[in-house]
Amino acid sequence: MTETVVSIQIAQFPDQYSLTLLFVLTVAVLIVFIEIGFRLGSRHHGKVVKAVASQARAIMGTMLGLLAFMLAFTFASAQTHFETRVTNLAEEARLAHNAFLHAEFLGPADHKRAQELLREYVAIRLSLEELTESDQWSEVLALVEESESMQRELWKLAIADGKNKLGPEQSSLRNSPFMVSVVGLIDIHNMRLQAELANRISRIVWATLYLTALLGMLVMGYQAGLIGRRSPIATFTLAISFSAVMMLITDLDRPMTSMFDMSSQSLVILSENMDEMLENE
């Protein structure tokens, strides 16, 4: 498990940098390419015919339109990934609640241990949701490994419960409600890992998006150089606007968002209910 998460972490190396740093770098690079284009166009200022300037203007419009399409496509993908994580979070809370209730059917000792494990499990999941982009990946790995250790212990309790109810001669354990709940909890855990760590925007898509943005800025600067006029305010506004949208996409696609709040209210309510039920026993 650790090796899998580490390999995914390395593949998504931009996650190690803050959004502020990425935003500043993106704005700076876009402005640099606009300036490069302007200087290239300035070399031909006064030497080109009107048709060439019109052609450059048409290409600039096409490039910016293509960039807008790429931004819309990538934003939609990131939004889908974010919504999947929100759905999985709510589903995990539901399955943990079911497992907590089904633990009542276990023996006296096992039922107490199972409910305590589930209470600790929910607390760990809440800790994971509270992590931010500034936290280290080692903290994420430690919490994931701890939750998986609890899943293995819950699985052992479920197997023991199934064998006690069905007898050693029966191989099917499907009639144990607690086992069904534990299996569902393990499944949703794997689904969340897939959604948060593996199901990310492809590096090819990111490379294409940035390449399109850089070329669009280059052509825009070139067209301004041809006519010998440019507006610094318009240049900065365009670079900042495109960079801001790119940061929104980056944050939506990250496992630990900073601008978007993935509400963990369902886990908070579940934790409070578990505490109350344990205190009333």
Query: pLDDT at position 226, please?
Result: 81
Residues 43-93 have pLDDT tens digits of: 776 665 566 777 778 888 888 889 999 999 999 999 998 888 888 888 888
Q: Cα separation of 34 and 270, whole Å?
A: 53
Q: How far is CA 177 from the centre of its chain?
A: 33
Query: pLDDT at position 49, please?
Result: 57
User: pLDDT: is 219 or 135 the higher one?
Assistant: 219
User: pLDDT: is 137 or 82 the higher one?
Assistant: 82
Q: Which of 105, 208, 109 is closest to 165 using CA atoms?
A: 105
